[in-house]
Amino acid sequence: MRNRRYAVASAVVCVIIAVFLVLPLVRCCIRNDKEDFTPENGDVVESGMQEELIDVEPLCQYPLLPTGCESVSAVMVLNFYGDSVDMETFAKHWLPKNSDFYTYEGEDFGPDPEKTFAGDPFTAYGYGCYAPVIAQSINNNSSNCNAYTVIGKDLSFVLSEYIDKGMPVLVWATMDMTPVKKGQSWTTPEGEEFIWTSGEHCLVLVGYDEKYCYFNDPLSGELTKYKRTLSEKRYNEMGKQAVVITHKK
């Protein structure tokens, strides 16, 4: 009996020792796996469960609007505030568009993306538009919401002034937060040279934490997180432009 009790006691001690030896190794492996993980596509990391996110239903721009990320982002936030407009209606009827590109005496001419969508968002050959166009589209057509641009403000201002108050924000960056590249250039109707940013993209900012910013990304139609430092860099490179939408009073 004594030998059996001794054997059982010894086995228990061995198990306890094994747990204390193995557990730190397991924790170390888990921690190192997270620290050493490098996303395949730059600094893009698909989001997991995260608290303190604004609950905005994500929408995907494909296949309807292959170059209509601005319209899709606007609709996501409008729907959040109870405006039932759909993507097709916004892009077809609310959004001003201009596909008047031409060459005259060796000089390329085209529309001003600060005033209209350049091209056709229903095709893969459209370019896009900037914050003032989306704000104007909403103010001219929505019976439920107002919109205004936030230009030149740091991302930290946007986070504290709007996200902290439960207000999702449209922000301009690049697709997958890839590096900014100069695209095609043309002369606007006002006679100014315009250089398009290749990969320009509009997303809905819905949350953040110490390391990441969380977006509803029209490219995937899903909640995605990008490193906060990278998000800020691309936001800055695109002119620090955003659109805030509110209920009409």
Question: How many C-beta neighbours within 10 Å does residue 226 have?
Answer: 24
Question: Quick one: pLDDT at residue 249?
Answer: 75
Question: Quick one: pLDDT at residue 203?
Answer: 98
7-63 pLDDT, tens digit each: 434 443 343 334 333 333 333 332 222 233 233 333 444 444 344 799 999 999 999
Q: Give the residue-averaged pLDDT of 138-143.
A: 98
Homologous superfamily (CATH) for 44-247: Cysteine proteinases (3.90.70.10)
Rg (CA), the chain: 25
- For the chain, the domains span 1-37, 44-247
Question: Quick one: pLDDT at residue 26?
Answer: 32
Between CA 173 and CA 217 the distance in angstroms is 11
**Token couple for 30:** 């888990």
Question: Quick one: pLDDT at residue 31?
Answer: 26
Between CA 245 and CA 138 the distance in angstroms is 9
Q: Are 112 and 190 in contact (CB under 8 A)?
A: yes
Q: Give the residue-averaged pLDDT of 228-241.
A: 98
Q: Are 97 and 117 in contact (CB under 8 A)?
A: yes
Q: Give the residue-averaged pLDDT of 101-126.
A: 98
Q: Give the residue-averaged pLDDT of 105-130.
A: 98
For 112-157, the DSSP string reads -TTTSEES-TTSTT--B--HHHHHHHHHHH-SSEEEEEEES--HHH
Instruction: Name the nearest CA neighbour of 196 among 127, 148, 141, 124.
Output: 127
Percent of the chain clearing pLDDT 90 (strictly above) = 78
Query: pTM of the full predicted structure?
Result: 0.81
Between CA 187 and CA 143 the distance in angstroms is 35
